């Protein structure tokens, strides 16, 4: 399972996941930062090409894109949505632990066109 962490997630989470053997990269570092201002749909398309699952706090635009996706776009590589009420963006340790658990329990599953909410662990 290869993760792409959206801009609202601390890049230190990606670094710590990498240290633990999980393929993760922060959006700011992905392709030398060229996607930092890219539209969400472009990020989803290009993440899918690389087999990356997008991890995001964006509960406004991304769910709408996912709803429209089957009718207008190719497949996406999967999305992990995080609700600020469940895991606050400043809770780096909580996000890290939850993502480690998610990968450990679901890495071998098919993620194409799948969307889930991250649960605190």
Taking the mean position of all CA atoms in its chain, how far away is CA 63? 13
Q: Which tens digit of pLDDT belongs to each residue from 34-91?
A: 999 898 889 998 999 999 999 999 999 998 888 876 666 677 889 999 999 999 999 9
- pLDDT at position 58: 93
Place of tokens 């780096």: 92
- pLDDT at position 90: 94
Task: Please count the residues of the chain.
Answer: 121
Q: Is the pTM value of this prediction over 0.85?
A: yes
* Distance in angstroms (rounded) separating the CA atoms of residues 114 and 51: 12
- Reading the block at residue 9, the tokens are 């997630």
Q: Which tens digit of pLDDT belongs to each residue from 91-106?
A: 999 999 999 999 999 9
CB neighbours of residue 83 within 10 Å: 13
CA proximity to 2, closest of 111, 95, 105? 111
């Amino acid at each position: 399972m290869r993760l792409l962490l959206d801009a609202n997630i601390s890049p230190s989470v990606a670094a710590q996941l990498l240290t633990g053997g999980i393929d993760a990269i922060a959006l700011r570092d992905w392709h030398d930062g060229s996607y930092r201002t890219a539209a969400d749909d472009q990020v989803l398309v290009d993440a899918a090409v690389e087999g990356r699952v997008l991890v995001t706090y964006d509960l406004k635009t991304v769910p709408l894109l996912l709803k429209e996706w089957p009718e207008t776009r190719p497949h996406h590589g999967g999305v992990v949505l995080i609700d600020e009420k469940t895991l606050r963006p400043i809770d780096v340790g909580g996000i890290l632990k939850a993502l480690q658990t998610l990968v450990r329990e679901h890495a071998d599953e098919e993620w194409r066109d799948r969307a889930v909410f991250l649960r605190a662990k």
